[in-house]
Structure 1
Amino acid sequence: MALWLAIVLMVVTLLVGGVLGFFLARRWFKKYLEKNPPVNELMIREMMRQMGRTPSEKQVRQILASMNQYK
């Protein structure tokens, strides 16, 4: 009887730990993305404007392609 109870407790503990770990990881990742959003076209255009350049569409696409290549 004690062996059966120990096995059930281990399985329940693993399930609860897995569910809890999933939600904690999900919460951490959402906070991370809020602080560090992925780079998009608008951000690239704004960075180039701050450097004193007006980027063409081709330049923006090239920068995005080169950044996606290293992901």
Structure 2
Amino acid sequence: MLASRLTYLRKECELTQAELSKKLKISRSAYSHYESGQHDPPISTLILLADFYGVSIDFLVGRTSSRKLYPK
């Protein structure tokens, strides 16, 4: 679920993996591994991604379908 959400959000922002990894200051290969599901990002990177996209970590990992950061 995480890999597909990362791909979806990145494409929605019309960014390449290289562009996104540069914005987040992580290597493109590391980010590529997250999107392909080969590796899980550390919590610090999950926080960075959630903040960048304005979503919760629960949304990123598939625990909720609500993109809202603080659903009520």
| Normalised TM-score (structure 2) | 0.24
| Normalised TM-score (structure 1) | 0.24
Structure 1 or 2: more helix by fraction: 1
Q: Which has the larger radius of gyration?
A: 1
